[in-house]
């Protein structure tokens, strides 16, 4: 009798136990399904992120390849033009001596000389744009460099009634290629001169930080239009009727050669601000 009672008890418990086990299995299955869905979503997001990143890299690589091809062409043309400009300048100098007593002819000659000088300036822009060399690192005083640039442009600043403000500590130093960095600062300053033909203010501000070094050059001109904001550093893009459109492109190439970047924004109070930033790791590597 006891055996029959035990058997009945076991049979009565078994369906409940089976239901509990099945519930555990279903819960485990549900949890696994949720984890798989989460993993799938995470993988999908990661694939999308990597695809977007790859597309950006491919566009950047294509852009650099186009610039490299363009640079080779521009370099060849620039050298050929310069080779022909040298004798032309010499002949103009000799001609100036021969007609020194003819005021009318001298006036025409000066116009020709101005044209040759403008062409030489264009050649210089092309050569600076196509130069592809590593920076010759040295410790430079940023305030001294900015003062040097401003001194070279003092006649233009005075003629256009432009006030220069240098918010630069006297002892601000960085590791950089002096010639390249000076060219970048000069190009931005020349761009500001074009933006302020009727006067204004040009402000240089140094921003050393734990992340690196930034030099901001802000003008009080009309600022950048929508297209200019987007294409400011694009080679050969210009809103002016004259010039090569390479000034800011050269600035960007110099910043990149130093491991940094160049940027342009409109100031809240008006005008535009151009920034050259060199990250801390680049400065430390060069030290």
Ordered DSSP codes for 15-39: HHHHHHHHHHHHHHHHHHHHHHHHH
Q: Which two tokens stand for residue 195?
A: 């933006």
**Residue 208: which H helix or E strand, with range?**
strand 200-209
Alpha-carbon gap, residue 140 to 119, rounded angstroms: 32
Number of helices and strands in the chain (H, E): 8, 7
Closest CA to 205 of 188, 190, 222: 188
pLDDT in tens, the chain (287 residues): 544 445 444 445 566 667 777 778 888 888 888 888 888 888 888 888 888 888 888 877 776 677 666 667 777 777 777 788 888 888 888 888 888 888 888 888 888 887 787 777 777 777 766 666 788 899 999 999 999 999 999 999 999 999 999 989 888 889 999 989 999 999 999 999 999 999 999 999 998 777 889 999 999 999 999 898 888 888 878 877 666 778 898 899 899 989 999 999 999 988 999 999 998 877 666 55
pLDDT for the residue numbered 73: 74
At CA 226, angle to CA 146 and CA 246, rounded to 5?
45
pLDDT for residue 43? 87
pLDDT at residue 198 in the model: 92
Q: How far apart are CA 159 and CA 196, in angstroms?
A: 11
């Amino acid at each position: 009798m006891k055996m029959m009672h035990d058997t009945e008890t076991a049979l009565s418990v078994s369906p409940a136990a089976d239901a509990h086990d099945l519930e555990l299995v279903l819960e485990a299955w549900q949890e696994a399904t949720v984890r798989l869905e989460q993993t799938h979503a995470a993988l999908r997001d990661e694939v999308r992120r990597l695809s977007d990143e790859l597309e950006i890299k491919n566009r950047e690589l294509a852009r650099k390849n186009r610039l490299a091809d363009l640079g080779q062409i521009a370099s060849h043309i620039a050298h050929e033009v310069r080779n022909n400009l040298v004798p032309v300048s010499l002949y103009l100098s000799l001609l100036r001596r021969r007609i020194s007593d003819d005021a009318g002819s001298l006036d025409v000659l000066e116009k020709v000389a101005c044209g040759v000088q403008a062409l030489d300036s264009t050649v210089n822009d092309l050569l600076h744009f196509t130069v592809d060399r590593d920076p010759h690192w040295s410790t430079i005083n940023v305030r001294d460099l900015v003062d040097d640039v401003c001194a070279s442009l003092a006649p233009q600043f005075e003629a256009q009634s432009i006030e220069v403000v240098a918010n630069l500590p006297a002892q601000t130093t960085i590791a950089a290629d002096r010639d390249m960095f000076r060219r970048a600062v000069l190009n931005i300053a020349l761009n500001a001169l074009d933006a302020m033909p009727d006067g204004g203010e040009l402000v240089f501000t140094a921003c050393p930080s734990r992340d690196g070094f930034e030099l901001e050059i802000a003008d009080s001109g009309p600022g950048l239009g929508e297209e200019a904001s987007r294409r400011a550093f694009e080679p050969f893009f210009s809103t002016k009727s004259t010039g090569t459109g390479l000034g800011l492109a050269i600035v960007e190439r110099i910043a990149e050669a130093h491991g940094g970047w160049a940027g342009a924004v409109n100031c809240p109070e008006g005008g535009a601000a151009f920034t050259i930033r060199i990250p801390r790791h680049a400065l430390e590597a060069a030290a």
